[in-house]
Amino acid sequence: MEQEPKRDQIINGHGTSSGGSFRHVKINGAGTLHGDVECALLHINGQGEIEGGLKADAVEINGSGHIRGPVHAGKMRVNGEGTFDGKFTCNELKLKGSVNIHGNAACDTIRLEGGATIEGDCEAETFHAKGGFQIDGLLNAGFIDITMFFSCRAKEIGGEKIEVRAKSGLSTLLNPFLPQFAAKHLHAEIIEGDEIVLEHTTAKVVRGNRVTIGPGCDIELVEYKQSFVPDKGAKIQDSRQL
C-alpha cells in the first residue's frame, strides 16, 4: 500500500493550527502551531511560533521565529530574529540579524552576521562570525574566524585555527540598538588551539602551537610550543614555551 503524500500547512494572515507531520509549513503573517512539527520546509514570512519541537530539512525565517522545543534542522537561514528554547542542532546555520539559543548548539557550519546569544556550549566544524556574540559555555570548532563589529564573549574557546580581528566603523551605528554588544572586544577565560591570531582580546590563558598576540590584547599568560609573536602594544603578563 502506497503511503499518502504529506499535506502542506499554510497560514495566511493571522491564525493557529495543530502540530504534526507535513510537507511544507508556510506562515505568511502571524501564525502559531501548537505541538511538535516535522516537515521538509518551514518558511516564515512575518512572525511564526511553534509550541513544541521542530524537525525540518530546511528552515527560512524572514522576520521573527520562535521555536519552544528542541530543533533538528538541515539548512537554516534567519533573516531577522530567531529564538530557540531547546537544544539546537543544524547542519548549516546562516544568520543575518539576531539569534537567541537557550541551550546547547551543535552545527557543521555557522555563519553569523549580526548578534548571537547562546546559553550553553556551541560546537561546529567551522564558525564564522561578523558582528558580536555571547556564549555562556565553550565555543569549540575546527576553524574559528571572528570579525568583531561589537563585543564577543565566550567562557572558553577551542579550535585548530583561531583568528580574531576587530572591524572599525559599523559598531558606532549599531550601539544604540545593541547595547549588550557595545565594545569591539573579545573576552574569554581560556583560548586554546593549534594556530592562534588575536586582536583586541582579553583572556586569562592563551595556549597554542603558534600564537600571535596583536594590538589591543590583554593576556595574563601565553603558553606556546613552536612560536610566539607579541605586538608591542599588547599587555602580556607572562609567557612560556612548553
> pLDDT tens digits, residue range 182-205?
568 999 999 999 999 999 999 999
> If you write DSSP's letter for every residue of 46-70 in order, what string do you get?
EEEEEES-EEEEEEEEEEEEEE-S-
Domain layout of the chain by residue ranges? 1-86, 113-242
- Between the alpha carbon of residue 65 and those of residues 60, 62, 175, the distances in Å are 9, 8, 24
pTM of this prediction?
0.89
Determine the length of the chain: 242
> pLDDT tens digits, residue range 96-151?
999 999 999 999 999 999 999 999 999 999 999 999 999 999 999 999 999 999 89
What is the rounded CA–CA span in Å between residue 33 and residue 51?
A: 6
C-alpha cell at 179: 547595547
Residue 168: predicted pLDDT: 63
Tell me the sheet residues that pair with 73. 56, 90
Tracing cell 510537507 back to the chain, one arrives at 23
| Among the listed residues 12, 80, 24, the one whose alpha carbon sits nearest the alpha carbon of residue 57 | 24
Does 223 have pLDDT greater than 60? yes
Tell me the sheet residues that pair with 132. 115
- For residues 33-57, give the mean pLDDT: 97
CB 26 within 8 A of CB 46: no
Does 177 have pLDDT greater than 80? no
Helical H segments across 88-159, by residue range: none
What is the rounded CA–CA span in Å between residue 90 and residue 73?
A: 5
CB 94 within 8 A of CB 79: no
Could you tell me the end-to-end alpha-carbon distance of the chain, in angstroms, rounded to an integer?
67
Helix, strand, coil % in the chain, rounded to nearest 5: 5, 80, 20
Residue 176: predicted pLDDT: 43
What is the rounded CA–CA span in Å between residue 9 and residue 225?
A: 57
What is the rounded CA–CA span in Å between residue 29 and residue 225?
A: 56
What is the rounded CA–CA span in Å between residue 175 and residue 191?
A: 26
